[in-house]
Amino acid sequence: MRIETKAIHVGEEPDFRAGSYGDVTSPIHLSSTFATLDIDRPTGGYDYSRSGNPTRNALEQKLAAIENADHGLAFSSGLAAESTVCLSLVKPGENIVAFNDLYGGTRRLFDQILAGDFSIGIRYVDARDPENIKKVIDSKTKLVYLESPTNPLLKMADIKSISDIAHERDIPVAVDNTFASPYFQNPLDLDADIVIHSTTKYINGHSDSIGGAVMVNRDDLYSRFKFEQNAIGAILSPFDSFLVMRGIRTLGVRMRQHAENAMKIAEFLETRNEVKKVIYPGLTSHPQHDLAGKQMKGFGGMLSFELEAKAEKIEKFLKTLKVFSLAESLGGVESLIEIPARMTHKGVPSSERKSLGISDSLIRMSAGIENVQDLIEDLENAFLTL
């Protein structure tokens, strides 16, 4: 079964048993607890919704299916998913080797919570070269953590090569696959051990739910994460589970349009004298274009670019846009635009932003699924302000 079909049907097969109604969408089970006929055995398989809920379970089946995984877990946010994975695997005095270009919220979690409060070492490296990973892992490394493509610079990590290096030392590899989505990339197929998503983004796709997901093949990791999720309580609500399932149903058609629009916008931006640089894996000008084509099935809806303009002009450019919304987040049907240095990555020290290449003139764009000509005309009008 291919991903478009799995996205619609897995977890939502009509139930024709007595007392059921043949729903083609999974019902929302809002009950916090479930009555039982026996003290020691839940009658319907559920006892308390933190530990398990039929709607969330249906979503978790669908999440696993679209990521080619054996197991899926739905969390209350992407950061809740990240936190559970990291705290399950890494203890005080041990360390995580991580790509140095990461979402600002992940950097905050790593630097201020894991390193600051839990004394977990964080070793940032430029993971574009797998050898940089090999140089820093040691006996206390318990997790390799990657984004690919990264946020906001769309750098690529060779997931297969890095996984091979980590597995020589029995170190699991986690990949935040949010930017690519399961439609365009499947890290487990590239030998990663753990896939993490902010379902808030492309998986839900409608900017109306906050959530996260973890997908794995290994039974031991699934049991560990599920136990800690239940113990900590970082679960997705039944209603949000329903919203995410609804969103997944259109994942394929949405992702194809996101990618088509992003490519056309990237090509348009490359023609503008006001633009210093365009960063999009689908462009041959991207330094890792070949790697992106090798491990991704498409190039996604995210792109970044730098303007040849001062801060006040850039601000005016952004405020002139009418179809694009000036907002954080990404992956919804609507087009969003933001300045990482002043918004999503403002918590990263300026010296680190500069060393990574996150300049004050860098703009990150989430191309929506509107008519692309309307998006380009909106940009053309804003360019008149520069």
pLDDT, tens digit, 9 for 90 and up, residues 154-205 = 999 999 999 999 999 999 999 999 999 999 999 999 999 999 999 999 999 9
DSSP states of 47-63: SBTTT--HHHHHHHHHH
Query: Percent of the chain having pLDDT more than 90?
Result: 90
Looking at residue 97, its pLDDT comes to 98
Catalytic residue among 47, 50, 129, 191: 50
Q: How many Cα atoms occupy the beta-carbon half-sphere of 213 within 13 Å?
A: 35
Residue 44 has pLDDT above 90, yes or no: no
Cβ atoms of 130 and 160 within 8 Å: the answer is: no
pLDDT band at 13 (very low <50, low <70, confident <90, very high): confident
CATH number for the segment(s) 3-248: 3.40.640.10
Q: How far is it, in rounded angstroms, from Cα 213 to Cα 101?
A: 21
Catalytic residue among 6, 46, 101, 103: 103
Catalytic residue among 46, 128, 158, 176: 176
Q: Which residues contact 17 (CB under 8 A, 6 or more apart)?
A: none
Out of 9-18, 71-80, 308-317, pick the least confident: 9-18
Residue 279 has pLDDT above 80, yes or no: yes
Looking at residue 20, its pLDDT comes to 73
Q: H helices of the chain, where?
A: 3-9, 54-66, 78-89, 104-108, 115-118, 130-136, 159-167, 181-184, 219-232, 238-248, 251-269, 289-295, 311-320, 350-356, 372-383
Domain ranges of the chain: 3-248, 252-383
Same topology between domain 3-248 and domain 252-383: no
Looking at residue 41, its pLDDT comes to 87
Residue 229 has pLDDT above 80, yes or no: yes
Residue 30 has pLDDT above 90, yes or no: yes
Average pLDDT over residues 141-153: 98
Catalytic residue among 56, 155, 201, 353: 201
pLDDT band at 134 (very low <50, low <70, confident <90, very high): very high
CATH 3.40.190.10 for the 252-383 domain, yes or no: no
- Would residue 183 show up in a list of annotated catalytic residues for this protein? no
Residue 140 has pLDDT above 80, yes or no: yes
Looking at residue 146, its pLDDT comes to 98
> Residue written as tokens 């946010």?
77
- Would residue 280 show up in a list of annotated catalytic residues for this protein? no
Residue 19 has pLDDT above 80, yes or no: no
Token readout for 171 is 């170190």
Model pLDDT for residues 90-127, shown as the tens digit of each residue = 999 999 999 999 999 999 999 999 999 999 999 999 99
Average pLDDT over residues 218-236: 97
Looking at residue 371, its pLDDT comes to 98
pLDDT band at 18 (very low <50, low <70, confident <90, very high): low
